[in-house]
Structure 1
Amino acid sequence: MEEWPKHYNPKEIEPKWQTIWLTPQFWEKVLKFDENSEKPIFFIDTPPPFTSGELHMGHAYWVAIADAMTRFKRIQGYNVLIPQGWDTQGLPTELKVQYKLGIPKENRDLFLKKCVEWTEEMIGKMKSAMIRLGYRPNWEQFEYRTYNPEYRKVIQKSLLDMHEKGLVKMKKGPVYWCPKCETAVAQSEVGYIERQGILAYISFPLKEGGEIVIATTRPELLGATQAVAVNPQDERYKSLIGKKVIIPIFNKEVEIIADNAVEKEFGTGAVMISTYGDPQDIRWQLKYNLPVTELLDERGRIKGTGLLDGTKVEDARKKMVEILKERGYLKKVETLKHNVLSHTERSDCLSPIEFLVKEQVYIDVVEYKGKLLEESKKMVFKPQRMGEKLEDWIKSVEWDWNISRQRLYGTPLPFWYCDNSHLVPAKEDSLPVDPTKTAPPSERCPQCGLQLKPVTHVADVWIDSSVTVLYLSGFYGNKARFTKAFPADVRLQGTDIIRTWLFYTLFRTLMLAGDVPFKKVVIHGQVLGPDGTRMSKSKGNVVSPMDKIDEFGADAIRMTLLDASLGDDFPFKWETVKGKKLLLQKLWNASRLAYPFIAKRNLAKPNSLNVVDQWILAKHKEFVDRSISAYENQDFFIVLSMLYSYFWETVADEYLELIKHRLFADDLSAIYTLSRILRDIIIILHPIAPHITEEIYSRLFGEKETVLMERLPSTDDIEVNENAVRVGETVKKFNSLVRTGKVNMKLPMNASIRVKLSAPEKFLDDIRIVEEDIKKTLKITEITFNKGEEPSVEIIPG
């Protein structure tokens, strides 16, 4: 027989199977999505990661989840559609090309060419790491890049359809603006970060004499102040409502107005409304139709003051405080920690957000909040609380979706516009189109007759990735697949993109296809550093899945990542991976032991089974049935927990020891039972640990080319014999007592002994049933039976 190595070597075995899985023959026979199959479809929409070139632990986590889910579904007999997309058109790539490669944006064609080259290089690195983790999506049919013409055509067609429904408009107004990235961003891309700041107390002279003191964190925006607001219930200021104040330095008169949104307890209870310091300023400007002063440029520099022009915001803040102090308007300055609206969606930016007045392209969202809340309830969430997170976000949306981005490397918005802000869409047969390089469908605006100009902005990247489910299901171009595959069975994603990828996909799919995009949404938590905090290069706690993959193997890493309840954050530690590898080695050892007795044997179930075999099959039935149920609910940690309690603690530590002598005696009951439970364990574990299970399966069984061609084990034929179960548990208790006794007497486990057993009569009877098996297993020459209240043993050497 073929030699079976003593140690499992993942560095050698895992790449072997990865190579096999990538062969055209394997794809054709096992993995190909069959458009004409009558099998039920399982369609999972997986996140297209941004092409950074680094496969971080968060990527590895969803890769492990997606691969485990789809391998399980293949074994269950489904026709599986598992894609792998790449989110290619991001600002970080532009910055790399601009600064690392030194390609100027002004050379547009060369710049875009280098962006694509950089993207492909990064995809190559990430794809290699995914493959090394054992991930096997359908590269051949469903790998996509968001910059590819075929995908871009779908993006642009979706925008034309939304425009036809009256959802896409061009309008001028305040936008969230990132001065560092020099582009507009959407509400979903910003969040609050606590920062150190100042609170400047400024004296505003009243026109009729006296003063009102205002505390502000943004003194640099003094020149853009359009009004002063106080709370109408604030007794300090009731007499001042409607009066005029003079803006210090700028000598501009504005009115004191009353509004309930003013916090009486903050600062002095009086605030300046500037265009624009924060979202509340925008609300007030719209509510009271206040004038607008544009005080900042695209790079976050002051303009139009004559005092601080060209100065960055941070420096302008300090200088304005100095000027106010010199001219006697500054009462005092306090330092404080406060929440600052920042570009949080990009972790390498986190720059404070400003508000600029821009003409941008928007998609109407706010008016559909009620519909989104109602329809979102049709989707099942795992865990359930994640549905509440989506609902909370929908309720918080205040602004329509600004989809314009002032960049180059992105999907061109397929529109032209006139000076009246009328949008004119491209013709469908011209897609994909770049309006900057293509003549408009007509020279003049059909609505007002003005000259048309191309929209030069590119689309927000969430415009690209929010049509993944429509693209993959065949909404545009493959109606037969769409009828079968839509809605997708599962959307898999992290908590961090609920308000972006999930929200926008739900919104766009509802508007375009008239239904929710998914039956179920599976949302995983974040993988933390070993110290239990979010991984960060600055903290030095970043762990890559590739760091020790050759040492511990992909299977052990996958088991570590999947051994957590979905939705929870958890720390990643190599010590845990080491423990998972020990479990795999235990499986390897058990299979190696069984190899001479069961390899390639076609074993029928005997007419009668030994009581010990009946006991283990009852435990096995529980393991198989609970594991299948756990897979259906994506509770991978339950499968792994049971693998420890059932396989390691019961099969490996107890059952195998009890049947060794029967194996050597060619006892068919023991050989059949061992063969059955090992085959089932291998099939059950395969989705989580695919490499070692393929290797063991090929050595022990190998009737089929791969575990993926097997079907889930059935336990319908296992009749649970309660007497056998009781005997088995009695044996476990007795074995534990004897082994503990040997340890206490410092005797080796293979030392011959005599045993005096005291126990209740039922316990004694159970041991008598399997006395010969126990004697041979534990090297016992004689057992003396005595009736007692609690089981106990006295061990006598010899």
Structure 2
Amino acid sequence: MTESEIPKEYNASEVEEKWMEKWDLSMYHFNWGEDPRPQYIIDTPPPYPTGNFHIGNALNWCYIDFVARYKRMRGYNVMFPQGWDCHGLPTEVKVEEIHKITKNQVPRAEFRKMCRELTTGNIDKMRKTMLRLGFSVDWSNEFITMDPSYFVKTQKSFVRMYNHDYIYHEEHPVNWCPRCETAIAFAEVEYETRQTKLNFVHFDKVDIATTRPELMAACVAVAVNPEDKRYSQYVGQEITVPLFGQKVTLIADEDVEPEFGTGAVMICTFGDKQDVRWWVKYELPLIKAIDKQGKMTKAAGKYEGLSIAECREAVIADLKAAGFLYDQKSLEQNVGLCWRCDTPIEILSEPQWFVKIDNDGILKAADEIKWYPEYMKVRLQNWTGTMEWDWCISRQRIFATPIPIWYCKKCGEVMVAEESWLPIDPNEAVPKKACACGSTEFEPETDVLDTWMDSSITALHVTGWESEHELRLPAQIRPQGHDIIRTWAFYTILRSLALEGKRPWDSIVINGMVLGPDGHKMSKSLGNVISPEEVTTQYSADAFRQWGAVGGSTGSDVMFRWKDVVSASRFLQKLWSIYRFSMSHLKDFGQDDAEKFPTDSLLIIDRWLLSKLNRLVDTATKELDDYQFDSTFKAIRGFAWEVLADNYLELVKGRLYGDEPEGRRAAQYVLYRTIKTLSLLLAPFIPFFAEELYSRFSDESVHEQAWPAVDESFINEEAEAAGELIKEITGEVRRYKSELGMALNAPLKKLEIYNANIDTGDLAGATNSKVELMKGAPSFEYVPVEVKPNMGILGPRFRKDAGAIVKALKAESPAEIESQAASGKITVNVDDKPIELEPEAVEIKKEVISGGREVDVIEVRGAVVVIVR
């Protein structure tokens, strides 16, 4: 194969489209039957089917795919399933927008059908993006939570947890979104700092300060700190609430902050969580002043029917007019918002369904799971430690898993569906038996389950729970974002323990968020949203995946920058050029030749390269075992670009183009092994490109091959040291030519090398000169005349002080630097601080002062190189 048979430019679009059509996706299927391979089940995040597989999803799926492809190559029976978490409130909102209706304006079944149709179309769009990005999904294990085959398991889990007293029904304060008209869990509340007014109001015995004057209608007590002498005389007395007239008791409680406001606070039902704590502690009455739509109730008197904001404005105006309001101050307040619509939440007392939370059990299970990175476990621990209420799992919506419950119209008892009746919608079917009281008339439960009730059983589902397969819990890994540790991770652990008494996974890998090119969270309002399709269209899927691999470490947020994608695309072209050149010299060398090649005929630089290659395999294996994608890919890129392309290929060109068959054959052997191994190492990261490389080695897919093993026989420190010496001498001679204005391929009369035991053939070819290894010491004297920093070493190690170190080196006597180098350490002073450098961090140019020849001298790693021009 000649270079001309392989296109000079890498056509990513053409290559990726070709392999998308050719790949048999069944090679990614999990084997549920007997299999000698260890299982590796991934509890894949099921995204909301919005139709937009956004860049944050894409980053997470890149991580998952790196792991899935790598583990298959390591000999695991891998399941990389794809799920879709369909029952999201955004779907209901979108259907209302599209059809210009509200969910209550059409029959329940018709509205659910509209939601299903929209969701099905969105799933199709997102599947296409995932295929375009080359994700090795096991589509035979796809699941869709709105399908009866999945939500039957959600309903079974509800029934079993109810029957085992994990689930109960009770009127209780809950977080409520007036816009969405549904309860939401604490984990779904987001917080934002907003400006508000602290209002100072005269009560008849004390003054209070409040940000919620509209809740004075629901005031059930006033509280002060027991140590606050200003109010001690009034504790236990009744106080009249202005405008509304109810009498409430003044309570002393240590949780009141005397320094805030007036030191006296209203206890309302409910302004915040603290109100709920006091309401329970002191068994206070319940006044419902706000309804489910965020309107004031009859309890608000003349303000009935007003919105919360309207009522607040009206109450403030009336307090001013009556002389009760005497001051207002601006205040920054942390406001709880609905995670979907940003509406401030209210705390309402409503009958709801709850799951009991076993904090200790969840924390114990979390300790049994390996966290990557480890510090992310703290987020779960902190969240668990702050849980005060049980998990509210009922929602006042339509498009979600129905709660399989009816209420007897005669006696009010709850009728729970039997498992054999499931899946079922109680609004469309009746119980298959009578109530214990004999009645057959029932009222269906119209509330539905929180969508996390669906997604928190994914670990159970993918491991075969309630299926024809044997349960394989725990799964091996859960990959997810750090933003849903308190929801998805927390709830999954809870449910796995409740239903099976086991942890859901062995490990959890946390990814960060994707930030826009401006460093801010991506949002349409900021105009910094980038879609994966934009990147694949302009560059390629493999370039996008490279960005995902090197953009940041596990757990950290990642900034999207176009220059990183451009850099990734350039690396693909560089790899292609390496491949193209190498394959042009392998047209008469194949697998049989490689297997029969006598490795004892390899030269030093060949052994150097193969030692470096096997160390790379060792490093990549260890790093990928720890999910360190960034450091793994950077190591591969560094080897391909710097070790292979910049050095080895330049050193062996003489052999490859020469007439000496043995040396040429050795170089061919090294290139064959190296390019084939690189295609395997690249396969998890850039699957299209790797497949294209491997296709010229085999008719089989690279993604069905074994991960390369380390060949210990090639790891050779002596060969590496000698190879490094040859590489650096070559580099120094090139630099020498460049400084003199000579062409890099210009011939030199001779190189005399002292104190070195190396092969000279590759060095002679690369420097275009005769090379002689000399014994003893040079027969002339030479002195150091100039010190030059080696920025290749100095830059990365001393990035902060590099400039100052260079200045300090140049100020020193070259002879002094040489003397220090001979002793093994060079010390320079930077801002009166001594910094020690390795001798390799400086280069000393020398000048001959006797000997009668026109030569220049370079020292490299203890070897003396005499250049004869």
> Do they fold alike, i.e. is TM over 0.5?
yes
Contact kept? 1:617, 1:718, Cα under 8 Å: no
User: Which range is displaced more, 243-252 or 599-608?
Assistant: 599-608
Q: Tell which has more relative contact order, 1 or 2 (C-alpha 8 A, sep 6+).
A: 1
**8 A contact 1:529–1:535 mirrored in 2:** yes
**Contact conserved, 2:751 with 2:769, CA < 8 A, in 1?**
no
Q: Secondary structure at the match of 2:613?
A: helix
Question: Does structure 2 conserve the Cα–Cα contact (< 8 Å) formed by 1:191 and 1:343?
Answer: yes
Aligned equivalent of 1:436, options 427, 430, 436: 427
Aligned to 1:247: 241
1:633 is matched with 626
Q: Displacement, 1:403?
A: 0.8
AA partner of residue 134 (structure 2): G
Contact 2:352–2:392 (8 Å) recurs in 1: yes
Partners of 1:71 and 1:20 in 2: how far apart? 18
Q: CA deviation at 1:428?
A: 1.3
2: CA distance, partners of 1:797 / 1:51: 71
Amino acid at match of 1:156: Q
Asked if the contact 2:235–2:252 (Cα under 8 Å) also holds between the matched residues in 1, the reply is yes
Q: How do residues 185-224 of structure 1 correspond to structure 2 at under 5 angstroms? A: 185-206=184-205, 212-224=206-218
Give the SS at the match of 1:276: coil
| Kept after mapping to 2: 8 A contact 1:752/1:797 | no
Aligned mates of 1:180, 1:745 — CA distance in 2? 76
Letter in 1 for 2:132: R
Q: 2:314 pairs with 319, 335, 357, which one?
A: 319
Cα distance in 1 for partners of 2:451, 2:532 equals 27
Q: Give the deviation of 1:135 after TM superposition.
A: 0.8
Q: Distance in 2 between matches of 1:585 and 1:310?
A: 67
| 8 Å Cα contact 2:28-2:136 kept in structure 1 | no
What are the equivalent positions in structure 2 for 1:267-286 lying under 5 Å apart? 267-286=261-280
8 Å contact from structure 1 (residues 737, 792) kept in 2: no
Query: What is the aligned partner in structure 2 of residue 209 from structure 1?
Result: none
User: Structure 1 residues 451, 233: closer, same or farther in 2, change over 3 A?
Assistant: farther
Distance 2:672 2:413 in 1: 73
Aligned match of 1:696 = 693
Which residue is 1:157 aligned to?
156
State how 1:239-388 maps to structure 2 within 5 Å. 239-304=233-298, 305-344=300-339, 346=340, 349-365=341-357, 368-388=358-378
In 2, the alpha carbon distance for the partners of 1:130 and 1:783 equals 59
Q: Which residue of 1 aligns with 2:570?
A: 582
CA distance in structure 1 between the aligned counterparts of 2:49 and 2:122, rounded to whole angstroms? 6
Conserved in 2, the CA contact under 8 Å of 1:11 and 1:551? Answer: no
- Output the CA distance in 1 between the equivalents of 2:30 and 2:364: 37
- Would you say the 8 A contact 1:183–1:406 is kept in 2? yes
Find the counterpart in structure 2 of residue 125 from structure 1: 125
Report the CA distance between 1:113 and its aligned residue: 1.3
Q: For residue 712 of structure 1, report the CA deviation from its aligned partner.
A: 1.5
What letter is aligned with 2:128?
Answer: S
Give the residue type in structure 2 aligned to 1:148: D
> What does residue 510 of structure 1 align with?
497
Partner of 1:112: 112
Give the length in aligned residue pairs.
771
Mapping for residues 311-710 of structure 1, pairs under 5 Å: 311-344=306-339, 346=340, 349-365=341-357, 368-418=358-408, 422-444=413-435, 452-480=442-470, 482=471, 485-563=472-550, 564-598=552-586, 601-602=590-591, 603-604=594-595, 605-608=597-600, 609-665=602-658, 666=661, 667-699=664-696, 701-702=697-698, 704-710=699-705
CA–CA distance in 1 between the matches of 2:546 and 2:441? 62
Q: Per-residue CA shift, 1:565-598, capped at 9, x if unaligned? A: 1001121101011111222212111111111333
Point out the more displaced range, 102-111 or 638-647. Answer: 102-111
* TM-superposition CA deviations, 1:286-313 (whole Å, max 9, x none): 1111111111122212122232222221
Taking structure 1 as reference, are residues 278 and 360 closer, same or farther at Cα in structure 2, changes over 3 Å only? same
Shift of 1:439: 1.0
Instruction: State the alpha-carbon separation in 2 of the partners of residues 90 and 695 from structure 1.
Output: 40
TM-score of the aligned structures, taking structure 2 as reference length: 0.86
Q: Deviations over 1:275-332 (max 9, x none)?
A: 1111111111111111111111222121222322222212222221111101100011
Q: 1:724 to 1:581 in 2, by over 3 A?
A: same
In 2, Cα distance between the equivalents of 1:544 and 1:28?
A: 28
Deviation of the 1:58 alpha carbon: 0.7
Once the 2 structures are TM-superposed, how far is the Cα of residue 264 of structure 1 from its aligned partner?
Answer: 1.7
C-alpha distance after superposition, 1:512-558 (max 9, x if no partner): 01100000011111111112221111122212121131232111111
Are positions 1:735 and 2:735 aligned together? no
CA distance in structure 1 between the aligned counterparts of 2:414 and 2:166, rounded to whole angstroms: 11
**Structure 2: distance between partners of 1:670 and 1:317:** 83
Change (3 A) 1:78 1:378: same
TM-score by length of structure 1 reads 0.93
Q: CA deviation at 1:711?
A: 0.8
Q: Please tell me the residue identity of whatever aligns with 1:47.
A: P
Deviations 1:195-235, CA, capped at 9 Å, x for gaps = 111100011113xxxxx111111011111000000111122
Show structure 1 runs of 5+ residues with no match. Answer: 207-211
Shift of 1:445: 5.2
Report if the CA contact (8 A) 1:43-1:490 is conserved.
yes
Match for residue 17 of structure 1 among 13, 16, 19: 19
Provide closer, same or farther for how the CA distance between residues 153 and 173 of structure 1 changes in structure 2, counting only shifts above 3 A: same
- 1:283 and 1:104 mapped to 2: Cα distance? 36
Q: 1:281 and 1:556, CA in 2 relative to 1: closer, same or farther beyond 3 A? A: same
Would the alpha carbon gap of residues 715 and 269 (structure 1) be closer, same or farther in structure 2, given more than 3 Å must change?
A: same
Shift of 1:450: 10
Task: Give % identity.
Answer: 38
Letter in 2 for 1:177: W
Question: Shift of residue 716 of structure 1?
Answer: 3.1
- Residue 445 of structure 1 contacts residue 451 of structure 1 at CA under 8 Å; is this kept in 2? no
SS of equivalent residue, structure 1 residue 568:
coil
Contact 1:179–1:354 (CA under 8 A) maintained in structure 2: yes
CA RMSD across the alignment = 2.1
SS of residue matched to 2:427: coil
1:49 and 2:39 are equivalent in the alignment: no
Cα pair 2:535 2:544 within 8 Å, conserved: no
- How far off is 1:720 after superposition? 2.9
Q: Which moved more, 1:714-723 or 1:233-242?
A: 714-723
Residues 403 and 460 of structure 1 are in contact (CA less than 8 Å); yes or no, is this contact kept in structure 2? yes
Contact 1:753 1:782 in 2 (8 A): no
Residue 174 of structure 1 pairs with residue 166 of structure 2: no
Alignment match, 1:101: 99
Shift of 1:162: 0.4
Deviation per CA, 1:454-511, whole angstroms, max 9, x where unpaired?
Answer: 111111000010111111111212352x1xx320000010001101111111000100
Amino acid at match of 2:246: K
Partner Cα distance (1:177, 1:754) in 2? 87
Sort the Cα spacing of 1:428 and 1:279 in 2 relative to 1 into closer, same or farther, 3 A: same
Between the aligned partners of 1:528 and 1:717, the Cα distance in structure 2 is 42
Instruction: Note if contact 2:166-2:355 (Cα within 8 Å) is conserved in structure 1.
Output: yes
Give the conservation status (yes or no) of the 8 Å contact 1:754–1:783. Answer: no
**TM-aligned CA deviation for residue 741 of structure 1:** 2.7
Pairwise CA distance, 1:756: 6.0
Q: Supply the distance in 2 between the matched residues of 1:643 and 1:739 (Cα, whole angstroms).
A: 26
Take 2:573 and 2:713, find their aligned partners in 1: how far apart are those partners?
28
Structure 2 regions of 5+ residues with no counterpart?
783-817, 819-842, 847-855, 858-866
**Measured at CA, do residues 66 and 354 of structure 1 come closer, stay the same or move farther in structure 2, by a change above 3 Å?**
same
